[in-house]
Amino acid sequence: MTGLLVGAVFGAVFVVVNAPGPLGPVTANLLRGAACLAAAAVLVMWFRAARAERPAPDARRGMFGPGYLAVVVAEAVLLFGGLRVLAALGRPEEGNVAWVAFVVGVHFVALAPIWKDWSIAVPGVALTLLGAGGLVLAATPAVAWVPVVSGVLSGVVLLAGSLTLGLRGAARVVA
């Protein structure tokens, strides 16, 4: 559940930060509100699950072993290095969110075999594609839509995945 909470928080941040722009203030504010409500719902599920069951210390240690650390280090290098490369190439600033979505998506796909949990590859592939699409879009006259495609939609994917898996987990706890 902690991973779902992290996904929901980052999903909400993606939506809140990237919602303005071509969507207009009313749509942006509705999306922001919905994103915050979804993240709050995952937080409630997280607290309920934390009370119901405690994972064994060995289970947590296995998730955050050397494979995880290698992926996180690579993610940080790619994230910050890539942003510098985009800036050096004079790419539009809107492309930054596309790069972030791309790298975060690849990070999920890379973690799937390490954690032996292929369910995280699904949002990973979606974020990778939304990031790649935004990078392509950043080179077109429609560059203003990059935050919507790579930011808002990536946030929606993270929130939807967190809510879906959180509800499944909550149903198992109740059963």
Terminal-to-terminal C-alpha distance of the chain? 17
The predicted pLDDT at position 3 comes to 79
Token pair for residue 2?
């902690």
d(CA 29, CA 151): 15
Cα gap 98→119, rounded to integer Å: 22
More confident residue, 52 or 42: 42
Q: pLDDT tens, 108-161?
A: 999 999 989 888 899 999 999 999 999 999 999 999 999 999 999 999 999 999
Percent of the chain topping pLDDT 70: 89
> pLDDT at position 89, please?
94
d(CA 83, CA 87): 6
The pLDDT of residue 53 is above 70: no
Model confidence pTM above 0.85? yes
